[in-house]
Amino acid sequence: MENLLQPKKVKIIKLQEMSANVKLFRLAPVGWKFPADRDGLIFTPGQFFLVGRWGVGEAPFGGASSPFEKGSIEIGVRKAGNVTAALHQLARGDEMTIRGPYGNGYPLDFFKGKDVVMVTGGCGIPPIATLIEYIIARRELFGRVYLLYGALTPDDLLFEERYKHWEKHIKVILTVDKPTPDWKGHIGLVSELTREIKIDPVNTATAMCGPGPMAAALENILRPLGIADRRIFVSEERKMSCGIGKCQHCTTGDKYVCTDGPVFYYDQVQSNWD
């Protein structure tokens, strides 16, 4: 039987600075392969991996690349603590450890045949980015698709190099709190972007990932559109250690984020934001 806690080796094959404190790591297996499921996915958008270094520790990250890619995976690492600071010191060619994928991702079968609204902010975009890649690869299975994404400044908007590709298939709507002189997009809250979308609320699914305050604000963003709570799926963030529901580090109410989530129905976690 496979040991679910056994880390495996991966090597950094590409590094990219996406903002002042966020780097994108592309990781390739060393001496093994990412297994694919019957749908050809190596992970479900919304699932997470525990990535780290021996002697330093691990931290959870959602996949940020297409889940159909077999030879590598991308994760976005925001420098925010001891583990992520150590990862930011690494260079291309260095080795790391990975475990997973763990948890439950976005319900892809439920999304099929529906309009899809994805809402995210700041560094919460990696799980949404991989969901976008999945939808684009299966575009004929979905209705109207929107990305509503906000950040503090234009420099804090991540995955900028993908926007042109995404915009060929979905509607991308961006906003910032503090614009630069050359910013030509929206200014203000993500909630204000809903004015630009057109959906059928009874046939719409919503995916969200972002900081606690944004998640708590979903009531003001999505409920006015008539979208029911059981059509709103939220990726929760908690400190995780084991990833398999044993250590109790990631409890939220009566749920474990690692095993019951990290993707939940909105009404399961709406009172348990960080």
Set out the domains of the chain in order of their start, with CATH numbers. Answer: 8-102 (2.40.30.10), 108-269 (3.40.50.80)
Place of tokens 């996915």: 41
pLDDT, tens digit (0-9, with 9 covering 90-100), for 232-245: 999 887 777 788 78
Is residue 27's pLDDT more than 90?
yes
Rounded average pLDDT over 202-208: 93
- Residues making up the chain, counted from first to last: 274
Q: How far apart are CA 44 and CA 22, in angstroms?
A: 23
Please state, in angstroms and rounded to a whole number, the distance separating the CA atoms of residues 147 and 164.
Answer: 13
**Contact status, residue 134 vs residue 67, Cβ threshold 8 Å:** yes
Let me know: does 27 contact 12? Beta carbons within 8 Å. yes
| Residue from 165, 235, 157 nearest 190 by CA | 157
Tell me what the mean pLDDT of segment 160-174 comes to.
Answer: 96
Count of alpha carbons within 13 angstroms of residue 127, beta-carbon side: 33
State pLDDT tens for residues 116-165: 999 998 888 999 999 999 999 999 999 999 999 999 999 999 999 999 99
- pLDDT of 89 > 70? The answer is yes
Residue 221 has pLDDT above 80, yes or no: no
Q: Which of 5-19, 28-42, 181-195 has the lowest mean pLDDT?
A: 181-195
Mean pLDDT of 82-99: 96
When the pLDDT of each residue in the chain is averaged and rounded to a whole number, the result is 90
- 71: pLDDT strictly greater than 90: yes
Tell me, what's the pLDDT at 174? 96
Give the best-scoring range by mean pLDDT among 9-13, 216-220, 267-271: 9-13
- Tell me: is residue 247 an annotated ligand-binding position: yes
Q: What number of CA atoms fall less than 13 Å from residue 231's CA on the CB side?
A: 19
- Residue 223 confidence (pLDDT): 76
93-102 per-position pLDDT tens digit? 999 999 999 9
> Binding site annotation covers 242?
yes
Q: What is the pLDDT of residue 209?
A: 87
Q: Quick one: tokens of 203?
A: 């046939």
CA angle 142, 147, 153 (to 5 degrees): 170
Sheet of 232-235: strands edge to edge?
A: 186-187, 171-176, 145-151, 115-121, 204-209, 232-235, 263-265
User: Is 209 annotated in some ligand binding site?
Assistant: no
Under 8 Å between Cβ of 8 and 29: yes
pLDDT of residue 190: 86
Beta strands in the chain (DSSP E): 8-17, 22-29, 48-53, 57-62, 73-78, 95-102, 115-121, 145-151, 171-176, 186-187, 204-209, 232-235, 251-252, 255-256, 263-265
Q: Nearest 5 degrees, angle CA 173-CA 150-CA 183?
A: 75
Averaged pLDDT, 9-28: 96
Q: Which two tokens stand for residue 56?
A: 């330093």
- Look-up of token digits 């684009």: 136
Share of the chain above pLDDT 70, in %: 93
